[in-house]
C-alpha cells in the first residue's frame, strides 16, 4: 500500500516537472511560436526596397501579411495583385515613374517587382501625408483622394493633419490590423530594422 502511494506521488511529481518544463520551453520560445503565426518571407526584397525608398521594413512586411499572407499569387475580387495587392492601374502608374519598361499587370505577381512598386508607393504616400503612418495606411487601402477629402472635413479631422475618424469600415479595420501586426513584427523580428 505504502509503495503504491509512493509510486503515485513519484508519477505526479514527474508529471508536474514535465508540465513545468513544457511551459518553460513554450514561454522561452514564444517568438518561435509567434513567427509561425506571423511569418516573414521575401525578407531580402523587403529590406532592399525599404532601403531604396526609405520606408519602414516592418510596415512593408505588415502590409504584405495583411494583404496576401505572403502569397505572391494572390488576386483580390477587385483585381489587386501579388504580395502587396496592388491594383493594375496603380502598378502601371508607379512603373511609369520607375521607368519599368514593358510593364503589364502580370508583373505584379512577381514578388520583387511587387515589393519594389509597393515600397515606392508607400514612400509616395508618406511624402503626401508627412510620414503619418495611419494616413499612409488609410490611403493605401481607401485611396489617396478619400484621405485628402476626409482631412478637409471637420467631422473626420479637427486639425486637418490627423484623422479622428475613418468613415470607411474596411479602411478603419485595415489600419488597425496592419498597425497590430506592425507591433508584432517589431517584437519578433528585431533584425529587420534598417
Catalytic residue ranges: 67
Tell me the CA distances in angstroms from 158 to 107, 111, 153, 176, one per residue in order: 41, 39, 8, 20
Helices (H), ranges, 53-163 = 57-68, 88-97, 111-128, 133-142, 144-152
Instruction: Enter the DSSP assignment of 48.
Output: H
Provide φ and ψ at 149, rounded to 5°. -65, -45
User: What number of other Cβ atoms are within 10 A of residue 85's Cβ?
Assistant: 24
Q: For residue 115, report the phi and psi dihedrals to the nearest 5 degrees.
A: -70, -40
Distance CA 94, CA 9 (A): 70
Q: Which residue has the cell 509567434?
A: 34
DSSP for residue 85: T
Amino acid at each position: 500500500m505504502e509503495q503504491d502511494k509512493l509510486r503515485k506521488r513519484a508519477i505526479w511529481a514527474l508529471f508536474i516537472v514535465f508540465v513545468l518544463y513544457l511551459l518553460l520551453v513554450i514561454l522561452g520560445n514564444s517568438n518561435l511560436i509567434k513567427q509561425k503565426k506571423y511569418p516573414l518571407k521575401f525578407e531580402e526584397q523587403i529590406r532592399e526596397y525599404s532601403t531604396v525608398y526609405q520606408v519602414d521594413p516592418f510596415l512593408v512586411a505588415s502590409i504584405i501579411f495583411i494583404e496576401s499572407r505572403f502569397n505572391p499569387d494572390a488576386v483580390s475580387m477587385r483585381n489587386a495583385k501579388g504580395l502587396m495587392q496592388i491594383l493594375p492601374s496603380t502598378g502601371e502608374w508607379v512603373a511609369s515613374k520607375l521607368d519599368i519598361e514593358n510593364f503589364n499587370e502580370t508583373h505584379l505577381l512577381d514578388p520583387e517587382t511587387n515589393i519594389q512598386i509597393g515600397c515606392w508607393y508607400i514612400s509616395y504616400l508618406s511624402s503626401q501625408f508627412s510620414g503619418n503612418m495611419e494616413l499612409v495606411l488609410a490611403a493605401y487601402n481607401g485611396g489617396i483622394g478619400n484621405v485628402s477629402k476626409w482631412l478637409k472635413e471637420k467631422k473626420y479631422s479637427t486639425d486637418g493633419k490627423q484623422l479622428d475618424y475613418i468613415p470607411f469600415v474596411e479602411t478603419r479595420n485595415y489600419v488597425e490590423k496592419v498597425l497590430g501586426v506592425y507591433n508584432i513584427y517589431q517584437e519578433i523580428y528585431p533584425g529587420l530594422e534598417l
